[in-house]
Amino acid sequence: MTGSVDTTFRLRWERFGPEVEASLTAVYGDRGPEVSDRVRGLVRAALDARPADLRELDERRLLAPDWLQDPRQVGYVAYADRFAGTLAGVGEHLDHLAGLGVTYLHLMPLLRPRPGPNDGGYAVMDYRAVREDLGTMDDLRALTARLRERGICLEVDLVLNHVAAEHDWARRARAGEQRYRDYFLAFDDRGLPDAYEASLPEVFPDFAPGNFTFDDELGAWVWTTFNAWQWDVNWANPDVFCEYLDIICHLANAGVEVLRLDAIAFIWKRMGTSCQNQPEVHHLTRALRKAVRVAAPGVAFKAEAIVGPDDLLPYLGVGEHHGRVSDMAYHNSLMVQLWSALASRDTRLTEVALGRFAPKPTTTTWGTYVRCHDDIGWAVTDADAAAVGLDGFAHRAFLSDFYAGLAPGSFARGLVFQHNPATGDRRISGTLASLAGLETALAAGDPGRIDDAVARILLLHAVIAGFGGVPLLYMGDEVGMLNDAGWADEPGHDDDNRWVHRPRMDWAAVAAAEADPASPSGRILAGLRHVLAVRRSTPHLHASVESRVVPSPDPRLLVLRRDHPLGPMVQVYNVSEGEVALPAAVVGDVLGREASELLGGHRWNLATDVLPVRPYQALWFTA
């Protein structure tokens, strides 16, 4: 057996080692080759330690390198404790996930966080231990094995921009160990921090203003992009690179299959910039990914880069890095545009914003989502807004008002998160159902409005299921869970209203939805299962194919086209509560005189003048 591991290692290092070294040299200069040697040793040890079942998984992945692009992939995102109490508890709810066709489970931060406030687990104190109340590393291993049996991969957050101030590295830095002080960005006086601040934005202007925190014990200003107790680590130090690579291999060997690269945009700092999206970020990610492919080729990276459209594609790899950085990235722009279109009943801005994207590398995929555990920031650029005659500032303000329920005629019930008076930004918190109008409709007891809200929820999911990429369902959305009225009651949550949309899973609501398919939640659950089932049997949705915008004849419709080798597909989405007559030629010119509409399961005659598109209807046509 050792002979074959030697061969495997040799072949993989021959294949990926040069890329590791090239990227490390781009970042660390002369030290690149030496760091690359350390990496070689690290990944060899990790490969040696890789359990047999995971080596088998690696082989399976190598045989299907497009596994994440397959339309059979369906993602689900949950907090283990809020979903099922513990990691072992999660394993008891796999039938529910299977019922939705879930193949990809993202469990929110589960590694040991600092005690006290911890940013929903994004302040990690120990990457090699599980949060005590959730279980142990052995429980994590057991869960991943159980998930694998059901064909579900596990994604875990890798927080690599910062550690908790209580992490051992920070503790030793404070104790005076220079080696660990060098893991952080610490400044004796305000000189450099002030110079950096001149061009740095603020992530949490409300509860954590500024980007530096004075630490008495360290006697220095520490870089803290997020909260004061989240210390940014210094990626310019190759020791930090090696530490994180080792952590990744450790998690991979515990059975974690996808790593969510948290806040990846922030890891490289450069004076005079926003300290986001720097070229070194892509080199570092590429070097990590290629190194991991030697030790655990089954493992994939998902970039959490909530950045503008021009900055997003490099996380999947452009130019010399084409397709070589992450396997997946969140399509934040699609998410924002869907909410914008629903509020304005107008897809023209959506067309411009999506039309601006260059094609992603064909070997990569999007993570598509309608909302997540974070707030929604109105990432609409002034240029895109101007292209459709809107004022960017005014439109962003309109969206904030609309989703906070302040605009006349708004159906939404969200909360304003992090109002930034300097920029006018007001991000929004709220569950999908509350933002989509179910809360106000139920309160009004208005069946028509309830129908609209249910239809909006299903429309949004049809788009993310049909766009190409892994649709990521958020826990509770499958039964239309509303905002959590008690969100502020838990210790440490009251200043962070993102908890309003992180409710505990309502299993009674799931049972009720199953028992009464005509209820609003029953319709949402059944509707979602249906959309996902159709997706599974539609090869046209393979993520190597791009969704391209077709100029819509009516601003209330979004029309997308996908050119798959099996034939073209046209998707039509009505973002309004009115019926819209679509000139049949829009579809017929692509598909001919007749087409199958997959979601409704009927043949449509396209040799006619217009096609009626019902309120919030989604249509997926193939020849």
Residue 122 in contact with ligand GLC, rule: CB under 6 A: yes
Which of 202, 304, 439, 478 does the annotation list as catalytic?
304
The CB-of-159 to ligand GLC minimum distance in angstroms stands at 6
Residue 54: how many CA atoms within 13 Å on its side-chain side? 27
- For 238-287, give the DSSP string: HHHHHHHHHHHHHHHHTT--EEEEETGGGS---TTS-SSS-HHHHHHHHH
Q: Which two tokens stand for residue 473?
A: 């369902």
Residue 559 in contact with ligand GLC, rule: CB under 6 A: no
Contacts for 330 with CB less than 8 Å, ≥ 6 apart: 302, 303, 304, 305, 306, 366, 367, 369, 372
Choices 115-123, 139-147, 354-362, 562-570 (CB under 6 A): range interacting with ligand GLC: 115-123
In the complex, which residue's CB is closest to ligand GLC?
A: 122
Residue 106 CB neighbours (<10 A): 24
Choices 80-88, 116-124, 281-289, 441-449 (CB under 6 A): range interacting with ligand GLC: 116-124
Give 456 or 498: the residue with its C-beta nearer to ligand GLC.
498
Total number of residues binding ligand GLC (CB under 6 A)? 9
- Distance between CA atoms of residues 55 and 514, nearest Å: 39
- Distance between CA atoms of residues 403 and 370, nearest Å: 14
Contacts for 175 with CB less than 8 Å, ≥ 6 apart: none
Annotation says 304 is catalytic: yes
Contact 258, 104 (CB under 8 A): yes
The CB-of-622 to ligand GLC minimum distance in angstroms stands at 36
The CB-of-263 to ligand GLC minimum distance in angstroms stands at 4
Give 68 or 159: the residue with its C-beta nearer to ligand GLC.
159
The CB-of-225 to ligand GLC minimum distance in angstroms stands at 8
Dihedrals phi, psi of 108, to nearest 5 degrees = -60, 170
Residue 265 in contact with ligand GLC, rule: CB under 6 A: no
- Distance between CA atoms of residues 584 and 570, nearest Å: 12
Q: Which two tokens stand for residue 348?
A: 């023209």
Which residues ranging from 353 to 392 are in contact with ligand GLC (CB under 6 A)?
A: 374
Which of 19, 157, 262, 425 does the annotation list as catalytic?
262
HEC states along 40-89? Answer: HHHHHHHHHHCCHHHHHHHHHHHHCCCHHHCCCCCEEEECHHHHHCCHHH
The mark string for 210-249 relative to ligand GLC (x by CB under 6 A, - otherwise) is ----------------x-----------------------
Instruction: Please pick, from the candidates 120, 437, 468, 469, the single residue that binds ligand GLC as defined by CB under 6 A.
Output: 120
Give me Rg for the CA atoms of the chain. 24
Please list the alpha-helical segments (H only) found in 467-576.
507-515, 520-536
The mark string for 336-355 relative to ligand GLC (x by CB under 6 A, - otherwise) is --------------------
Residue 477 in contact with ligand GLC, rule: CB under 6 A: no
What proportions of the chain, in percent to the nearest 5, are helix, strand and coil? 45, 20, 35
Residue 262 in contact with ligand GLC, rule: CB under 6 A: yes
Instruction: Please pick, from the candidates 263, 390, 432, 455, the single residue that binds ligand GLC as defined by CB under 6 A.
Output: 263
Annotation says 149 is catalytic: no
Total residue length of the chain: 623
Residue 159 in contact with ligand GLC, rule: CB under 6 A: yes
The CB-of-444 to ligand GLC minimum distance in angstroms stands at 33
Indicate which residues carry an active-site annotation.
262, 304
Q: Contact positions toward ligand GLC, by CB under 6 A?
A: 119-120, 122, 159, 226, 262-263, 304, 374
